[in-house]
Amino acid sequence: MPTRKLFIGLFILVSVFFRTETSKAQLYNPNFNAAENKGSLLKYLNDIYGKKIISGQMDDKYLAYIIESTGGKSPAMMGYDFNGICPSQGGNNDAAKAINWVKIKGGIAQFQWHWISPNADGDFYSPNFKLSEALNDTNSISYKNMIRDIDLVAGEMKKMKEAGVPILWRPLHEAEGKWFWWGYSGGDACKKLYRLMYDRMVNKFKLDNLIWVWTSYGKTKENWYPGDDVVDMIVWDYPDYSAAGSWSQYQQMFGGKGKMFGIGEDGKLTDPAILATQGWLYFLTWSYMVQDPSVKDGKNPKAWLKQVYNDSRVITLDNLTPGPKASAGQSQLIFDTDGNGTETVQLDGSGSKTDNGTITEYKWDINNIEIATGVKPQVSLPLGLHTIKLTITTSTGESKTSQVVITIKKPSVSLKKAYKVSSTEANLGNIAANAVDGNQATRWSSAYSDPQWYQIDLGKNYDISQVVIYWEDASAKNYKIETSDDGTSWRTVATKLNMPKGARIDDLSGLSGSGRYIRMYGTERTGTWGYSIFEFEVYGTESGTTGLINMDMHNLWIYPTIIRKSEKMQISCPGSLLPANYQIYCQSGQIKKQGILTDTNSFLVIDQSEAGFYYFKLRHNDLSKSVKFVVVN
């Protein structure tokens, strides 16, 4: 009996050990082909099924928000979409994003496809495409267009296969809901299309990196399940978590099929406590809903995100990448509100960790030039975009790196100013304030018609020199930039015609116009959606102040431009620019000296610089000038 008790105790201990460690994995092996990596992924999913739940997020544009809200955590699974791939659209780059997510980040990739009408006569909600008719006539244009689109997607999947990347593939999602064109013709047509797609991708294109996922609504809709031989996994979008809800219905309908069950989409992050009775494999939060703390969509206050992502039952990205992990913190957009051309930035490597030994060194650099050491150093950065690399070294000699992007920019004169719009898309939270809030993760979107406009009250008259519009996929094909003194009579400053489809940044520089009011007036969209703007930035100076000062700025000079350490540098500055802030910084962007000039002829001692190239920068209001000089030994 004592021997048996010892054996049972060891068995329990070993079982607990393996159950704990099943969440640790490295799923992508660069020495494996796609089929082998798919096998490793499936084994891992089966190992954790019912024990842990994988965190997922649709659209990587929300990644920074999640990391910030959760104390450095990232979803293990990232959702992507082939929307945009059809010839009438603007293109799709999500395969490249997914390859990076799996190969570089070590995560899991999931795809669905918001497939517009293959005949380009409507979006994915359009009733114009007749699926049954297309399937029944393989010589029809509709059928050939459908095959063309499938093959375009297969081509992107082939890129992932060649990179050794497996994906969860969820085609014809939510078909049973009958709100997309692939569901309008009923179950038989939809299943026929699904099997056609499966046969073409698996047998013609030899895609062996796909895990096929079917979206089912259980007993709440007609059951269009396409068959055990073509489905690896079954998922429910926006499930009912009650005792008799989605999980119970899946057990009754599919429980004997050996399929794993997941949550294909949801608004609120799934409570990991549900694992006690419902062993969902993963959840995938739908795009913008992760940012919605209200009852309407996501119900995701930041405290809830942090609680879920830090729960031991939830698998996050760090569970999939063993070894030390460097975290350079959050990318930051900082506005130079005081106009001195530099900002002090707090870097943060506290999210770095290691599961073997301790971290002994934190080193920060720009272009391989060290700018700081330590966990949370402060650095001064000039205007511009700065990619900063953190390298951590552990007591075991291992090193890992992470990057953070810090952008220092002067604020747009339209930042947080009053606005008016022609319309706002209903019920999506894309309100007008989003286009002037300084946050490029939020956007305004209009109704689906022409014309539409977005108007800003700058508060006073400005001479406008530049407008930058950050468009979402729903962009303008033809539009004008107009100014006005009273918000009623408008003058055209710029006209843009035949602009490309898709997300883009329109930088309209060298403008000559003035007014208190400025607007984007769109006359034609690039697609069926409305107009959608992340940020509407306006740059210029108050009317009547630009010309003379700008001329004086050209009369700034320094002497000598080749100087030895401890020598004095003379700065000659027109009186109209005084007082003025100055900085001396090195090529890495690190500030070596800064202060305020008050005399037209000043002398500065270059006393703390190593040999190399440096810059003297003078700033007066919105104007600045930099002069390069060299320090020699």
Hey, how many other C-beta atoms are within 10 angstroms of the C-beta on 17?
Answer: 10
Dihedral, 114, 120, 121, 125 alpha carbons, nearest 10: 0
**93, 98, 101, 103, 509 from 160: Cα distances, Å:** 12, 8, 11, 10, 39
**38, 163, 294 from 41: Cα distances, Å:** 5, 15, 35
**103, 201, 587 from 166: Cα distances, Å:** 10, 14, 42
* Lookup result for tokens 């791939």: 85
Q: Residues 36, 133, 162, 174: which is the catalytic one?
A: 174
Q: Residues 265, 343, 482, 535: which is the catalytic one?
A: 265
User: How many Å apart are CA 556 and CA 310, to the nearest integer?
Assistant: 55
CB contact at 8 A, 594 and 383: no
* Coil/strand/helix, residue 83: coil
Query: What is the SS3 assignment for 175-223?
Result: HHHCCCHHHHCCHHHHHHHHHHHHHHHHHHCCCCCEEEEEECCHHHCCC
DSSP state of 373: E
For 400, the token pair is: 């890992």
CB contact at 8 A, 308 and 76: no
For 491, the token pair is: 């003058």
Strand partners, 471: 504, 533
Pick from 387, 412, 369: nearest CA to 331: 387
Q: Is the dihedral of CA 604, 608, 611, 617 positive or negative?
A: negative
Residue/partner pairs of 424-431 with CB below 8 Å, 24 or more apart: 425/530, 425/532, 427/296, 428/288, 429/288, 429/292, 429/296, 429/297, 430/532
H helix or E strand, kind and range, residue 132: helix 131-136
Identify whether 265 is a catalytic site residue. yes
H helix or E strand, kind and range, residue 534: strand 532-542
Query: What is the SS3 assignment for 461-498?
Result: EEEEEEEEEEECCCCEEEEEEEEECCCCCCEEEEEECC
User: How many Å apart are CA 85 and CA 157, to the nearest integer?
Assistant: 12
CB contact at 8 A, 336 and 329: no
Identify whether 68 is a catalytic site residue. no
* Lookup result for tokens 């979206």: 215
Hey, how many other C-beta atoms are within 10 angstroms of the C-beta on 210?
Answer: 23
- Give the residue numbers marked as catalytic: 174, 265
